[in-house]
Amino acid sequence: MAPPPMKCPRCAKALYPHPVASTEIDVCLSCEGVWFDEGEIRRIIAAEPNYAASALAASWSGAPIAEELSSPRELACPRCGLLMSRFFYEGKRQALVDGCSNRCGLWADDGEVRAIFEGTKTASPPPPPALWSALGRLLKRIVDRRG
């Protein structure tokens, strides 16, 4: 029997695996947040530095990040259940994310996904069609579920 899907720490809906650049991220189709297991962000950037990061960032609508570090929300890690800590990803004040102190991974809300990857974009040729196709299928699933 397959293990039950992880639950979104934001809205408690199921997280669905989605392949991106030879790794698999876990996406909430309800709130569009993303769970990155330990090291997945770096693998995505390393796998296709000129394509994957900018395509992933562009695939999320991105809401303005108007949260403060002192915000009262505390989210539980979808892997181990421990309350996560809030911090700026890689010390830059662009993306305020939630990370598990057991090093299970980190949670990025919709707007935070875009902020994480904004700094990795470089001038390059357009992304390979396979990557656009995969991201297009994910966005279609999100739209279909909301419709």
Q: Which residues contact 6 (CB under 8 A, 6 or more apart)?
A: 14, 15, 26, 35, 78, 79
Confidence of residue 50 (pLDDT cuts 50, 70, 90): low
Q: For residue 64, give the amino acid letter.
A: P
Identity of the highest mean pLDDT range in 22-26, 100-104, 119-123: 100-104
pLDDT of residue 20: 81
The rounded Cα 29 to chain-centroid distance in angstroms is 11
Is residue 147, in this structure, part of any structural domain at all? Answer: no
Is residue 54, in this structure, part of any structural domain at all? Answer: yes
Is residue 87, in this structure, part of any structural domain at all? Answer: yes
pLDDT tens digit string along 79-108?
Answer: 999 999 988 887 667 778 899 989 999 999
How many separate domains does the chain show?
1
The Cα 78–Cα 34 span in angstroms is 11
The pTM score is: 0.69
pLDDT of residue 22: 80
Is residue 9, in this structure, part of any structural domain at all? Answer: no
Is residue 52, in this structure, part of any structural domain at all? Answer: yes
The Cα 62–Cα 50 span in angstroms is 20
Is residue 42, in this structure, part of any structural domain at all? Answer: yes
Quote the domain boundaries for residue 51.
Answer: 15-139
